[in-house]
Amino acid sequence: MTTYDRVGLLRAVSREDSALDTDSAESTSSAEIDWTTTIKNFIFPALGGSLFGYDIGATSGALLSLTSSKTSGTDWGSTLSSFESGLVVSSSLFGALAGSAAALWVGDALGRKRELLLAAACYGGAVALLALAPNLPVLIAGRVIFGLGIGFAMHAAPAYLAETAPESVRGLLISLKEGLIVLGILLGYLISYLFVDQEAGWRYMYGAAAIPALALGLGMAALPDSPSGDGIPSGPGLGRVLEKRYFKPLSVGLSLMLFQQITGQPSVLYYAAKIFEDAGFGSAQQATGVSVGLGVFKLVMTGAAVLYVDKLGRRPLLLGGIAAMILALGGLGVASLQLEGTFGAWVSLAGLLLYVGAYQISFGPISWLMVGEVFPLAVRGPAAALATITNFGSNFLVSLALPSLQSNLGPGGTYLLFAAVGVGLSTERLWRSCCVVMHLKKEQLNGERSDHD
């Protein structure tokens, strides 16, 4: 007799073969993986995260195109204030914040598949608004709806992958999902480079997202529900997460998400092309071309993080990355304030590469890893959702404020502010957070926490 798992991830396994394994984990590891099904069950949910990355890269170029009197193609884009420019960028993050909050309440009831289909619908509707926006309010509305798609996708995709991937390759696929977000950023920078000098090029940059949005919707419609994610009952509510006994892990998780954003690096990516143009890479196409190089470098560093995070450990990478980010931000500040011309532009590029690279091997992957490790299993779902809300909320505020900060403090002053407030003040707290994570993991392994009984 042969049996199949619910989503078809494992090929038929005979009763005699499965009897050789003593537990289900060993059986999953030893069974032959159906790679065709596994890849299908991975690639379409991962597209939801890639569209988040694409939005970051495309917005970097779209902001240059929209605010230029030569390429805007509108009578309102080139007159946007610093605050309005920040609103264009950050409104998708506000939508992602709202989507994450909604997913906290309705995500489990919808199930992973339907939540990803909802994300695809949000993406598709938003792309139409963005590509055809006749004015700023419609553009902002499109950005918010796109952000709703981000919030739903970033909640459902990791859960779908965790619930459908064979155990032996689950960690690899979840790591690859993070890599596809960075690949999305690179593709956004590349599309920006191709269209930034065309009239109304920002419409094409946003409109190009229709292709992956359509692929996400069609792909998810053809995939099965995840085994435990089809309208499952909600887990413990927020009230339990806020109990005193969970204060320590919750404060660690939320602190990691907050400090990840107030270092400025995620928000800086939205403004990369503008930053490079201001640094001395004269034309918009030169600036977006350099952004493509930045995206390639970020992708390479993501691969390095995947390879070495378990070998080198969380704490050395996190604290070493923070030190490198402080150095990079200081260099960027000095270069912006003291250096001019081609030399200053290249020093700024070197500083930004160090800044992004250090983030990508520290805050970027390790914050999410530690969030997954620090929360007790009994409250992990709602606690992780709160961490995601904190992440998008702080990212929204920093992205909204960044143009105004640069307008009032200048690029150099803004970099130095990030160094002092965002990174410098977080180092001691993060050292303590690492120690707390190690202690909690040891407690969980020893079965000392009451909610694991």
pTM for this model (two decimals): 0.79
Predicted confidence at residue 433, as pLDDT, reads: 56
The tens place of each residue's pLDDT in the chain, 453 residues long, gives 333 343 444 444 444 444 434 344 444 444 577 788 888 888 999 999 899 999 999 998 999 999 999 999 999 999 999 899 989 999 999 999 999 888 877 777 788 899 999 999 999 999 999 999 999 999 999 999 999 999 999 888 887 887 787 777 766 776 677 788 889 999 999 999 999 999 999 999 999 999 999 999 999 999 988 765 554 444 556 677 777 887 777 877 788 788 878 877 766 777 777 777 776 676 777 888 888 888 899 888 888 877 777 677 777 787 788 888 888 888 888 888 887 777 777 888 888 889 888 888 887 777 777 776 677 766 766 777 788 888 889 888 888 888 888 888 887 888 888 888 766 556 555 555 555 555 555 555 455 444 444
- Whether the Cβ atoms of residue 145 and residue 126 lie closer than 8 Å to each other: yes
Q: State the Cα torsion 371-28-302-186 to the nearest 10°.
A: -110
Please list the residues that pair with 3 across neighbouring strands: 13
Q: Give the whole-angstrom CA distance, residue 78 versus residue 391.
A: 31
Assigned token pair, 38: 């596994």
Assigned token pair, 322: 């923070």
Q: Give the whole-angstrom CA distance, residue 207 versus residue 335.
A: 36
- Whether the Cβ atoms of residue 329 and residue 355 lie closer than 8 Å to each other: yes
- Identify the CA nearest to 411 among candidates 350, 337, 346, 351: 337
Backbone angles phi, psi at 91, to 5 degrees: -65, -30
Q: Structural domains in the chain?
A: 34-234 (1.20.1250.20), 235-453 (1.20.1250.20)
In DSSP notation, 62-94 reads HHHHHH-TTT--SSSGGG--HHHHHHHHHHHHH
In DSSP notation, 158-192 reads HHHHHHHS-GGGHHHHHHHHHHHHHHHHHHHHHHH
In DSSP notation, 418-434 reads IIIIIIGGGHHHHHHHH
Residue type, 74: T
